[in-house]
Amino acid sequence: MNKTIRKIVIAVIALITIVSVSGITPAQFTAGATAPTAQILAELQTQIRALMDKVAALQAQLNRGIPPTPTPTLIPVFNFTRTLALGSRGEDVRALQQFLNAQGFIITTAGPGSIRNESIRFGPRTRTALMRFQRANNISPANGIFNLVTRTRVMEIMALTPAPITPAPPANGIFEPTPRPAKWWDRLIPDIRTTLGQISLGVSIETSRSLSIKDEKDITGDGIPEALVDLGTGGAGATFISTLMRIENDKPVVAQFRQKDGKISSLTFSDGVAMMGGTNVIMLPDKNAIYSGSWRRGQLGDLAECSVEAYQWNSQTKNFDFNLNLSNEIRPEYCQMIKRYHITPISTPTTPASITSIRVPFIDVGASSGLGDRLRNDPDALRRAFETGEIVGCGDRIVYVTKEIPATTQPLNAIYRQLFATVGSIPFEGRQLINSIESHTTERSVANFSGAKPLRFVRAEIQGNVAMVYLEGNIFGVGTCHEPRVSAQIILAARQFPNILSVRTFLNGTEFSWERWMDQRG
């Protein structure tokens, strides 16, 4: 008799004996026995029936000549670090065999390589089982070589990814992003960093933060996902810089693009929002393409500019080629999406009543450091953070300080007068805020700029949903972090009112563009 069946029969006999010595017949299960005793005996009878059924099933297998299938060993996650092929030896081979057996890709039913008898030798049967696994997981070529793509997929299956948990709102009211599931490319981060360290992308890779995978999709149609790799934030804002990578010859490489002018090179993409516009990069598996979009608000809060550049995979040249027709096809839908999520419709302005207190915007230096990274998976929250001043410049934020004033029906003018008159730091809840505009408003502040005149507030007007701010003097660059602070104070002084959708600044009678000024400053 088979050993497994013998053990089960012994267990059945033991249970029957227990019932017999109890002196209680099956008829007494529901009559005459106490409730606890009846429950115990009923459970024993159920177990006996289950064991007898298993004996019958195993006996039927033996009658047909089929050996009982042993239970695969549960194995922990194994960190595979090398390519394995026919002839390889090592504990990583044993771990691979255990994985394949546990996943149902049985290497052999008996001897070395069988369940609970896995070996350190990579032989023909291991190769055959691995080929079956590769085909089942759309890994091409399914050649039985345990390469980078295959071992990444194996470790991905081995890993236990916790379900995303929505965090409770913290005391400051700002939600942390929901943890995302692990991505296919996450395990390739060390290889990615090595690859990026050997080339120049025209941007500096932030060594102070870990590289991360922004998105991954198969846009070449080969069954292996490509990845947008986040390289960090760009400049003083919260625009994120990424590049596209793919797998070639079992290694991650930076994708190449044939641009409008025919030149072939790698590209970096920006993705983020600011007060007046934004950029996006989106992967399109159904088109075997990737596109970048950019948009800008007009002075009236409308969509003034919206453009798309699409690149489609060319399997012959192994490049992504600029495709004008595809760009024109995508643009209407993209621009409609931008209007829906980022452009606020014009509303009827309200007339302010006489008020005696105003909120003046000052700079809390470094208060939002890292917030852009934490909100990057929530574009709407990131946009709101810019528009409300939660993110300004180099990790700073706007703080509104309440000031008591004589009663007025022109609060906007009162805010600007207070802003331009404030000198020195401003104590606020144990911290010291700064007024960046002060660097433009005194004779001392402009002494180092030949011919410059101090900046002076003239007046502010409201036309429809637009605030018109008139200034005199000079605006000059003081530093990379300082410039977005100045523009944010001017713009957000007016944007705090719900009926103000945009702000137009006039300097010495001519309209002044903060965005163009900062672009020219670099």
pTM higher than 0.75 for the full model?
no
Q: What is the mean pLDDT of the chain?
A: 76
3-state SS track over 448-501: CCCCCCCCEEEEEEEECCEEEEEEECCCCCCCCCHHHHHHHHHHHHHHCCCCCC
Q: For the chain, what are the domain ranges?
A: 3-63, 91-158, 193-342, 355-521
Q: Rounded to the nearest 5°, which phi and psi values hold at 229? A: -100, 120
Question: Hey, how many other C-beta atoms are within 10 angstroms of the C-beta on 77?
Answer: 13
Region 348-365 average pLDDT: 74
Give the pLDDT confidence of 117-159 residue by residue, as tens digits. Answer: 899 999 999 999 999 999 888 888 889 999 888 888 887 787 6
Q: What is the largest CA-CA distance in the chain?
A: 113
177 pLDDT more than 70:
no
Q: How confident is residue 215, by pLDDT bands cut at 50, 70 and 90?
A: confident
Q: How confident is residue 353, by pLDDT bands cut at 50, 70 and 90?
A: low
Among the ranges 175-179, 216-220, 297-301, 389-393, which has the highest mean pLDDT value? Answer: 216-220
Q: What share of the chain is helix, strand, coil (3-state, %, to 5)?
A: 35, 25, 40
Question: What is the architecture, at CATH level 2, of domain 91-158?
Answer: Orthogonal Bundle (1.10)
Q: How far apart are the first and last CA of the chain?
A: 85
Q: Look up residue 474 and give its two tokens.
A: 């000079």
Q: Look up residue 149 and give its two tokens.
A: 């793509």
Mapping DSSP to helix (H, G, I), strand (E, B) and coil, where does residue 451 land?
coil
Q: pLDDT at position 302, please?
A: 72
79 pLDDT more than 70:
yes
Q: pLDDT at position 429, please?
A: 81
Mapping DSSP to helix (H, G, I), strand (E, B) and coil, where does residue 49 land?
helix
Q: Are 141 and 85 in contact (CB under 8 A)?
A: no
